[in-house]
Amino acid sequence: MNILQVNKFHYLRGGSERVYFGTADILEKHGHTVKFFSMSHPENIPCETSKYFMPDVDLNTDDGNPMSQLKIAFRILYSFEAKKRISRMLDQYPADIAHLHNIHHQISPSILHELRSRKIPIVMTLHDYKMVCGSYSLMADEKVCEDCNGGRYFSAIRKRCIKNSRTKSVLAAVEMYLHHTLLDIYGAVDVFISPSLFLKNKLQEMGFKKPIIHLSNFVMNFEDVRSEPEGNGSRKEKSLVYFGRLSPEKGLFTLMKAVKILQTKEGIRIKVKIIGEGPLKNVLKKNAEELNHVQFFGYMRGQSLYHEIKKSTVVVLPSEWYENNPISVLEAFALGKPVIGARIGGIPELVQNNVTGLTFESGNVDDLVEKITAMLESSDRIIHMGENARLFVERELNAEKYYQELMKIYQSVIRKNR
């Protein structure tokens, strides 16, 4: 089968890119031919079709030139260039099916019209809340927000949801009304894939009426990740590790407050490792100066990241937004590490209380302190939960199971389009 994979970034930027590349990898291992359409970038992984990619654009910079900003706005709303480029690519490399991931802004959904005109079946994996929220995250003022419920996209303007900019928020609202209300452009997608039941249910609850199938993410590089842990509950020195983006929605201030209580009031000797980059890095470092044994590692991936996780006692995910199906939890499980996760979004679907980890009320410092204390007081419990976690991903979230379920979806939409 000739399969087109589409995502706006073609390098390992975050969880959605890992799914994008991981899906392509498992498809190729089963004998399918995979081609890519994306955006040019210096860090891109080389591929045969890169000459068709969209030109690189940084949406976070403002050069002060009204014409260049207007050009970016039109690219976000409906990119005729993306439509032309993917058309030329499909002339050279026909596809039996197109599998889309994140296409908003840098590519735009204009490509859906080209794919549909060629009668190419389309599936799209949802990685966030963009189908109902102009800011992707269902957050405003660093808090969960559902004001766009039922298509009230103008709420983004009132709350300045996009980087606290009225101009960018107006553009986001216009984009949502154009794509979902006026053009219904996503009606071209045959079926959407949701990695979490929470995301699927939340979109439907907020008025998204397109067909959605639940298919969880999987451990992409299981053979590399899976191994006996280097650290375990029997070690005297206990350590927590967080790995991911250092941004407000990740609940890292809640984690820091909990660590302060543990180290001062509770007198628990504990190390904390923070792995990642993001806008809060300097603030968090300043915040950590009054704490003991808090270490910042910067961005890590691959074996260096796995090595640090394996040396830790437990992984913490203190999120304060509706997480979808976090890859970080799957990787922690594959490494035999239990997870203490916030009870929000799709996290409780993975972190089963007292089985593969513990959950706490999102944003509740005292509850997090209680769960960390409970986890660390029993070495046997840590080891047992870690074993359960590894067994869970081996049985339920492996690449082969994902592939078989994905093939059922592909074959279903292909039959539908005959």
Report pLDDT digits (tens) over 297-344. Answer: 999 988 999 999 999 999 999 999 999 999 999 999 999 999 999 999
The residue among 322, 325, 253, 338 whose CA lies nearest residue 294 is 253
Say which amino acid occupies 161. C
Q: Phi first, then psi: what are they for 194, rounded to 5°?
A: -110, 120
Query: Using DSSP, how many helices (H) and how many strands (E) does the chain show?
Result: 16, 14
* Whole-number pLDDT of residue 229: 47
- Which domains, and CATH codes, for the chain? 2-218+399-416 (3.40.50.2000), 222-396 (3.40.50.2000)
DSSP per-residue codes, 344-362: STTHHHHS-BTTTEEEE-T
Cβ neighbours of 155 (radius 10 Å): 18
Distances in Å between the Cα of 70 and the Cα atoms of 75, 78, 84, 153, 233 are: 9, 12, 20, 21, 56
Whole-angstrom CA distances from 22 to 28, 221, 327 are 10, 8, 12
In this predicted model, what pLDDT tens digit does every residue of 113-163 receive, in sequence order?
A: 999 999 999 999 999 999 999 999 999 988 999 999 999 999 999 999 998
Q: What is the pLDDT of residue 225?
A: 52
Element (H, E) at 100: strand 97-100
Q: What is the DSSP string of 145-188?
A: --TTTTT-TTHHHHHTTTTT-HHHHHHHHHHHIIIIIIS-GGGG
Give the pair of three-digit tokens for residue 326: 């976090």
Burial (Cβ within 10 Å: 0-12, 13-18, ≥19) of residue 184: exposed
pLDDT tens digits along 51-64? 999 999 988 766 66
Stated as kind and residue range, the H or E segment containing 91 is helix 80-92
Pairing of strands 314-317, 294-298: unpaired
Answer yes or no: pTM beyond 0.85: yes
Burial of residue 13, with CB atoms counted within 10 A of its CB: 0-12 exposed, 13-18 middle, 19 or more buried: middle
